Amino acid sequence: MASNTATVLQSFRKELLNASHAFGVPSTGSLRTAVRDVFAIALFRNSSGIGPANTSYTQVSASEVTSSGYTAGGNSCATTDPATSTNTGYWTPASVAAWTNVTMTGSNATDLALLYNSTCTAKLGVATFALGVIDTGQAPSAGTFTLTMPTNDGSTGLIRIT
Amino acid sequence: MTRTVNTIIGEIPESDLEFATLEKDSGDTLIMSREWKYKGADPALVEHVGQMVRRDCWVTMKTGISLAGSAEL
């Protein structure tokens, strides 16, 4: 099986231009209704071959981890608004709830998190993030899996447009 | 009141467990795990003494990703 890849999905660049995502509340007078989308983070098994050419959560959901304490689709991100710092736009979720009492061991270990738009029907993907070392990943056992976001600024924010 | 911890062998008093915390810097992420081992004296669980019975994982993203491009149009 092919390794997973941490990357911005190629399709995300196009979908940004199509206004398919609203990380914050769209500006008054824009085509979209003034409601932000909900984004979620789902976890995927090692060596699922997920990478830049994938387009959505739905497309890769067969490779998602399974465990008691983990619901398919992952956990929603807490709301935050995009911001700018000079020439960089950035967005980082305030937090993602931890998964408790989960077991993701052996072939169910996870080395990749997918950020995707859970509001839109197509569950369009944004980017994938390595959970430590690719192909090794994380293997909680009857324990808690906690994912902590980076500092929300123009240098380290989760998604940055420079 | 004795605090218990969920493990693969059931709810175990925390006093019957010991843990070690491991930390690894993987560049863009900081990884921590805590492995709990059984050290109790319950005869029904004696086979598990010294075994890892729970693992917690923390992944801290130190930096996200950039859609880099030129700032000058």
Residue B54: left (phi > 0), alpha (psi -120 to 50), or beta?
Answer: beta
> Which residues touch A74 (CB under 8 Å, ≥6 apart)?
A40, A41, A42, A43, A64, A113, A114
Tell me if A138 and B57 make a contact (CB, 8 A cut-off).
yes
Where residue B28 falls among pLDDT bands split at 50, 70, 90?
confident
For residue B68, is it within any domain? no
Of the candidates B31, B54, B65, which has its C-beta nearest A159's C-beta? Answer: B65
Taking the Cβ of residue B31 and every Cβ of chain A, the question of whether any pair is shorter than 8 Å is answered with yes
What is the ipTM metric for this complex?
Answer: 0.91
Confidence tier at A91 by pLDDT (50, 70, 90):
very high
Using one digit for the tens of pLDDT, what is the confidence trace for A99-125? 999 999 999 999 999 999 999 999 999
State which residues form the domain around B12.
4-61
Which residue type, as a one-letter code, is found at position A92?
Answer: T
B11 lies in some domain: yes
Q: Which of A130, A140, A158 sits opposite B57 (nearest CB)?
A: A140
Q: Which helix (H) or strand (E) holds B7?
A: strand B4-7
B73 has a pLDDT exceeding 70: no
**A13 and A81 Cβ atoms separated by less than 8 Å:** no
**Cβ contacts of A127 within 8 Å, gap of 6 or more:** A6, A7, A8, A9, A12, A114, A115, A159, B64, B65
> CB of A93 within 8 A of CB of A38?
no
Is the CB of residue B49 less than 8 Å from the CB of residue B40?
A: yes
Residues of chain A with Cβ-Cβ distance to B60 below 8 Å are 148, 150
The domain tally of chain B equals 1
B71 within domain boundaries: no
DSSP chain A: -PPP--EE-HHHHHHHHTT---SSPPPTTSSS-S-PPPEEEEEEETT----TT--BHHHHGGGB--BTTB-TT-EEBPP---EEETTEEEE--S-BPPEEEE---GGG-EEEEEEEESSSTT-BEEEEEE-SSTTT-B--BSEEEEEEPPP-STTT-SEEE-
Every domain of chain A and the residues it spans:
7-161
Tell me which chain A residues have a C-beta less than 8 angstroms from the C-beta of B58.
145-148
The residue-averaged pLDDT of B4-24 equals: 96
pTM of the model: 0.94
Q: Is the pLDDT of residue B71 over 80?
A: no
